[in-house]
Amino acid sequence: MPGNGAVTRSTLRQQIADALRDEVLAGRLQPGRAVTVKEIADQYGVSATPVREALVDLSAQGILEADQHRGFRVPEYSLADYRGMIEARGLVTDGMFRALSTHHPAFTAVEDPRTAAALAAVRRRGEEAQRAAAAGDLTVLIGYDLRFWRELSGLFGNPYLADFLHRLRVQSWVCAVQHLRRLPDVRDHLWAGHTDLVDALARRDAETARALVAAANTHALALIERLAEQA
């Protein structure tokens, strides 16, 4: 059937993108590392088309960047880049949480079953992220942290805002992981206030939510600055 080839290619495209994203976020593909269509196609034993599409997708997400002469490469983010990402993240979430005080529809009735169920699902992501942080499992933490923020921002009903925040958080993890991987043990170094944040939002307590995120951003920036100085 004509559709089967398209479905297969689309599935391959997503699988390759997911695998390469995991490699970058795990720190196994180092900053500056070139990634070519031929290399990845040979590695996975697939044609060039889904690989090229996957690399373009990752480039759009900020996980890879296009290199005019070498195809694609893992971004080499500087400390100044990280500071900018943290500042941008803070501005986005600050605006989101301020919306609570203007009776944002997503939180006007937290007792509504659909709202309560959505918040409970986000809270479960947060619990998983906290367990990973406590165990020092950075790879698992990153996965759950990204899902947590993706789903949380989705509650505000603006897909453009959710996409923008997700891209920022992916980029900041790509930048941070190169430093965090040098720590022998990341336990006690990672933010784990996810459930506190959800609980504050469920209470429509925007000030506490903003304070929690501000403290998390301050902690993250101080940690990466310290690790960068030691490099």
Q: Is 134 helix (H, G, I), strand (E, B) or coil?
A: helix
CA-closest candidate to residue 147, choices 121, 171, 172: 121
DSSP assignment letter at 64 = S
Q: What is the mean pLDDT of each run of 10 residues along the chain (231 residues)?
A: 50 92 88 92 91 93 84 92 96 85 60 81 96 93 95 89 93 93 88 93 89 94 93 70
The pLDDT of residue 223 is 95
Q: How many CB atoms lie within 10 A of CB 159?
A: 10
Which tokens sit at 228? 């960068």
The pLDDT of residue 7 is 44
The pLDDT of residue 11 is 86
Contacting residues for 125 by C-beta, under 8 A, at least 6 apart: 144, 147, 148, 151, 194
Query: Distance (Å, rounded) from C-alpha 223 to C-alpha 180?
Result: 9
Rounded to the nearest 10°, the torsion over CA 185, 192, 141, 180 is -40
